[in-house]
């Protein structure tokens, strides 16, 4: 492994109720790299990135964050997970806490900041996603796009070494999608290391260095974004990309 490798997974396998959901999946992301993961529903994309973060236990395989192994028997999984930001499709904000407290909770409890420092850090991150005026709001008072930007700000406040996104825009209305993608583009421009699961093909093609196409729990193909979208090697990748493009044009497709 080079020093520049941020997150690396080797030979991951995972079954649910005897059914193989990840089948020998290996992948790594280098410092400052943006990796896109695409693939049909049920391919195992969410399971994969949840395993990268230790949210889901593996059957076999190993995961490293920098030089530290998450899957080591004695790993301090909470400390390692605090170094990885995770953004969920459905935001996962604490609904009983105001935006301010959603942002400050981890800073106080995990980063052990005092109240003044936590507030300064939280306000800076909220400002970065354009929502400084929502400091005292409840999650229920936010639009989907605003809630997702708060969720991204909350993850960023922890100063993660890598950010994992699981379909961050798929629960949003079209207007909100743009506001979230704008924030993500700024992260890319700032050099953040990111793994993004998304059906937003144009966005992935634009921001990702490398793209992974998954199907049936395995990586079918991985390559530079331009190459994978325009001249994929596998027929299955071509069929998936063409199917998504046709769906965007409103045509009927066969899955």
Ligand X SMILES: Nc1ncnc2c1ncn2[C@@H]1O[C@H](COP(=O)(O)OP(=O)(O)OP(=O)(O)O)[C@@H](O)[C@H]1O
Binding site for ligand X (CB under 6 A): 16, 21, 39, 41-47
Tally of CA atoms within 13 A in the half-sphere of 255 that contains its CB: 6
Question: Residue 146 interacts with Mg ion (CB under 5 A)?
Answer: no
- Write down the least CB distance from residue 220 to Mg ion, Å: 17
Question: Judged by CB under 5 A, how many residues of this single chain contact Mg ion?
Answer: 1
The residue whose Cβ lies closest to Mg ion is 46
CB 180 within 8 A of CB 187: no
CB 30 within 8 A of CB 40: no
- Write down the least CB distance from residue 115 to ligand X, Å: 37
Residue 43 partner contact from Mg ion, ligand X, none using kind-dependent CB cut-offs of 5 to 8 Å: ligand X
Residue 77's closest CA among 97, 103, 99, 51? Answer: 51
- Write down the least CB distance from residue 195 to ligand X, Å: 13
In this structure, the number of other CB atoms found within 10 A of the CB of residue 74 comes to 6
d(CA 52, CA 6): 12
In this structure, the number of other CB atoms found within 10 A of the CB of residue 222 comes to 18
Residue 225 partner contact from Mg ion, ligand X, none using kind-dependent CB cut-offs of 5 to 8 Å: none
Instruction: For the segment 147-166, give every residue that binds Mg ion (CB under 5 A).
Output: none
Nearer to ligand X, 125 or 166 (CB): 166
Distances 48 to 22, 37, 93, 169 between C-alpha atoms, Å: 7, 10, 22, 18
Residue 121 partner contact from ligand X, Mg ion, none using kind-dependent CB cut-offs of 5 to 8 Å: none
Question: Residue 198 interacts with Mg ion (CB under 5 A)?
Answer: no
Residue 44 partner contact from Mg ion, ligand X, none using kind-dependent CB cut-offs of 5 to 8 Å: ligand X
- Write down the least CB distance from residue 170 to ligand X, Å: 8
Q: Which stretch binds Mg ion (CB under 5 A): 16-24, 44-52, 110-118, 170-178?
A: 44-52
Q: Where are the beta strands (DSSP E) in the chain?
A: 5-16, 19-30, 34-38, 60-65, 68-69, 84-87, 162-166, 194-197, 210-215, 218-224
Nearer to ligand X, 5 or 89 (CB): 89
Query: Tokens in use for 166?
Result: 């699981």
- Write down the least CB distance from residue 193 to ligand X, Å: 21
Question: Residue 46 interacts with Mg ion (CB under 5 A)?
Answer: yes
Residue 41 partner contact from Mg ion, ligand X, none using kind-dependent CB cut-offs of 5 to 8 Å: ligand X
- Helix ranges restricted to H, 89-224: 99-109, 115-128, 144-157, 174-189, 201-207
User: 3-class SS at 3?
Assistant: coil
Query: Which residues are near Mg ion by CB under 5 A?
Result: 46
């Amino acid at each position: 492994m080079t020093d520049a490798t941020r997150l690396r997974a080797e030979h991951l396998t995972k079954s649910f109720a005897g059914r193989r959901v990840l089948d020998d999946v290996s992948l790594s992301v280098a410092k400052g790299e943006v990796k896109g993961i695409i693939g049909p529903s049920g391919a195992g994309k969410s399971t994969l990135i949840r395993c990268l973060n230790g949210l889901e236990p593996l059957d076999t395989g190993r995961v490293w964050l920098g030089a530290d192994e998450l899957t080591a028997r004695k790993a301090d999984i909470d400390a390692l997970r605090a170094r990885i930001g995770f953004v969920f499709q459905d935001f996962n904000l604490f609904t009983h806490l105001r935006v301010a407290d959603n942002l400050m909770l981890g800073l106080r409890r995990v980063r052990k900041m005092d109240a003044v420092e936590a507030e300064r850090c939280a306000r800076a991150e909220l400002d970065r996603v354009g929502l400084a005026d929502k400091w005292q709001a409840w999650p229920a008072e936010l639009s989907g796009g605003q809630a997702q930007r708060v969720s991204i700000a909350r993850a960023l406040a922890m100063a993660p070494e890598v950010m994992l996104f699981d379909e961050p825009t798929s629960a949003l209305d079209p207007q909100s999608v743009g506001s979230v993608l704008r924030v993500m583009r700024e992260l890319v421009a700032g050099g953040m290391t990111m793994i993004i699961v998304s059906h937003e093909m144009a966005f992935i093609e634009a921001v990702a260095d490398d793209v992974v196409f998954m199907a049936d729990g395995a990586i079918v193909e991985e390559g530079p974004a331009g190459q994978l979208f325009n001249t994929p090697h596998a027929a299955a990748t071509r069929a998936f990309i063409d199917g998504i493009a046709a769906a965007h044009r409103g045509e009927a497709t066969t899955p």
